[in-house]
Amino acid sequence: AQRVTQPEKLLSVFKGAPVELKCNYSYSGSPELFWYVQYSRQRLQLLLRHISRESIKGFTADLNKGETSFHLKKPFAQEEDSAMYYCALSGLGAGNMLTFGGGTRLMVKP
């Protein structure tokens, strides 16, 4: 069975501070990991995928297979980063069926 855990339901930081949203997973095979974001009054949308190894809106995430983690990081938080963030896992060949974590609400204070 696959499982995604986001230990923090709420993370509050000041503008300009570093941010790290934690994500741990359990999966016996080779997972694909994603971060989705839901801004206020907007639909859930993909932020980044581990396969792409890209930085989106200043966010990066590295897949650590040894620690089974996929933490989302940004060196300097902005107020517009305030949103709900979901880590998600797709098993190889699972047809894009994602297993989501419980979500972390990020609040960036001015």
Partner 1 sequence: DADVTQTPRNRITKTGKRIMLECSQTKGHDRMYWYRQDPGLGLRLIYYSFDVKDINKGEISDGYSVSRQAQAKFSLSLESAIPNQTALYFCATSDPGPANTGELFFGEGSRLTVL
Contacts with partner 1, residue ranges (CB under 8 A): 4, 6, 9, 32, 34, 36, 43-46, 49, 51, 86, 90, 95-103
Q: Closest approach of Cβ 94 to partner 1, in Å? A: 9
Distances (CA, A) of 30 to 2, 13, 40, 65, 73: 11, 33, 33, 9, 22
Between 6 and 63, CB nearer to partner 1: 6
Q: How far apart are alpha carbons 49 and 57 in whole angstroms? A: 13
Between 37 and 108, CB nearer to partner 1: 37
